[in-house]
Amino acid sequence: MAEVIVTVSGKGGVGKTTATANIGMALASMGLKILLIDGDVGLRNLDISLGIQDRIVYHFNDVINGMCSADSAIVKDEKYIGLCYLAAPQNITGAEVNKEGFKEMVDKLRPRFDYIIIDCAAGIDDSFSMCAGAADKALIITTPELISIRDADRVAERLESMGITTVYLIINRINIDMIKKGDMIDIDTIIGTVAVPLIGAVPEDVGIIISNNKGRPLVLRPRTRAGTAFLNIAKRLTGEKVPIMADEKKGFFSFFARKR
Ligand SMILES: Nc1ncnc2c1ncn2[C@@H]1O[C@H](COP(=O)(O)OP(=O)(O)OP(=O)(O)O)[C@@H](O)[C@H]1O
Ligand SMILES: [Mg+2]
């Protein structure tokens, strides 16, 4: 029976879709059955990160409205047997989606998967209430910028008010050189500001941009630091004890080991 996880952020462009694609691919590579649902109504792009944009015929609103079966709308990854994707509609807004219908659809799909991850749009409006309303747990994504961190804190409050209490923080696009120079907010400050436990930190990596363009998540190349970071987040989600950034014996990331 699937656990349903939503990836959220207050600020846009912080890496929700990248995290969803990479964590989903990592979980599938462990032999788990994964469904990634694109919850970014009107502006979907998880299909591009997964490289399956040419195979989409139906979207989840077609399933909710009875236009097609879930099986017709779900696209299976050709390489990873366990990885499936369900697209968001592009021709309507989040306000037009039947949110109860969305939750019902997600609940019906639970028995077929180990994890369902919903990639939410930024902010706390319609996409947020639809996606979070169907989820058990949440991953809040932030970058090490004040604007993003403050918004992450608002999102955490909103999730709590919706009764979602299992929430983890991912700090994305960390630049160690900038932290060393004092040009980027350090990890302890972020953890202190957003009262949500850290599940992973992902370095800034140009490989992420390339992999998003190629449609093959970087986690498929686990020797990269960002790929390793996403793989470790996936392992922690399954309950495996993996020290944060275990590859870093010294330096700023050693803070993480002490925090957990
Ligand atoms: N760790 C990283 N290193 C380098 N680039 C990254 C990293 N994470 C994400 N990016 C880049 O940042 C941009 C935004 O990422 P992404 O689309 O995943 O964010 P998002 O939060 O889903 O955005 P939106 O709010 O628009 O849905 C993309 O160009 C992506 O390639
Ligand atoms: Mg996105």
Domains of the chain (ranges, CATH numbers): 3-259 (3.40.50.300)
Q: What is the mean pLDDT of the chain?
A: 89
- What pLDDT shows up at residue 158? 95
Closest CA to 9 of 158, 111, 162: 158
Helices (H) and strands (E) in the chain, counts: 12, 8
Query: Per-residue pLDDT for 257 more than 60?
Result: no
Closest CA to 35 of 14, 57, 13, 60: 60
Query: Per-residue pLDDT for 243 more than 90?
Result: no
Pocket lined around ligand 1, Cβ cut-off 6 Å? 9, 12-18, 40, 121-122, 172-173, 202, 204-205, 208-209, 212, 226
For atom 8 of ligand 1, which residue has the closest CA? 15
Residue that has been written with the tokens 């591009």 in this structure: 48
Tokens of 257: 């080991």
Query: Per-residue pLDDT for 255 more than 50?
Result: no
Kindly give the number of the ligand 1 atom that is closest to the alpha carbon of 211. Answer: 31
Cα–Cα separations (whole angstroms), residue 105 to 59, 64, 133, 251: 12, 7, 12, 46
For atom 18 of ligand 1, which residue has the closest CA? 15
Asked if residues 219 and 22 have their Cβ atoms less than 8 Å apart, the reply is: yes
Kindly give the number of the ligand 1 atom that is closest to the alpha carbon of 121. Answer: 27
d(CA 232, ligand 1 centre) in Å:
19
**pLDDT tens digits along 212-239:** 888 888 888 768 889 999 999 999 999 9
**DSSP-derived 3-state class of residue 223:** coil
CA 44, 111, 6: angle at the middle one, nearest 5?
Answer: 35
Kindly give the number of the ligand 1 atom that is closest to the alpha carbon of 203. Answer: 1
Closest CA to 185 of 142, 229, 140, 146: 146
Pairwise CA distance, residues 68 & 24, whole Å = 25
| Percent share of the chain, pLDDT over 70 | 93
d(CA 222, ligand 1 centre) in Å:
18
DSSP label of 82: T
- Region of poorest pLDDT, from 47-51, 56-60, 153-157, 222-226: 222-226
Kindly give the number of the ligand 1 atom that is closest to the alpha carbon of 122. Answer: 25
Mean pLDDT over residues 44-64, rounded?
94
Mean pLDDT over residues 156-161, rounded?
94
pLDDT-derived band at 260 (thresholds 50, 70, 90) equals very low
Query: Per-residue pLDDT for 202 more than 60?
Result: yes
Kindly give the number of the ligand 1 atom that is closest to the alpha carbon of 13. Answer: 23
Query: Per-residue pLDDT for 254 more than 60?
Result: no
Q: Which of 7, 124, 212 to mutate to test the pocket of ligand 1 (most atoms within 8 A of CB)?
A: 212
d(CA 39, ligand 2 centre) in Å:
9
pTM (2 d.p.): 0.92
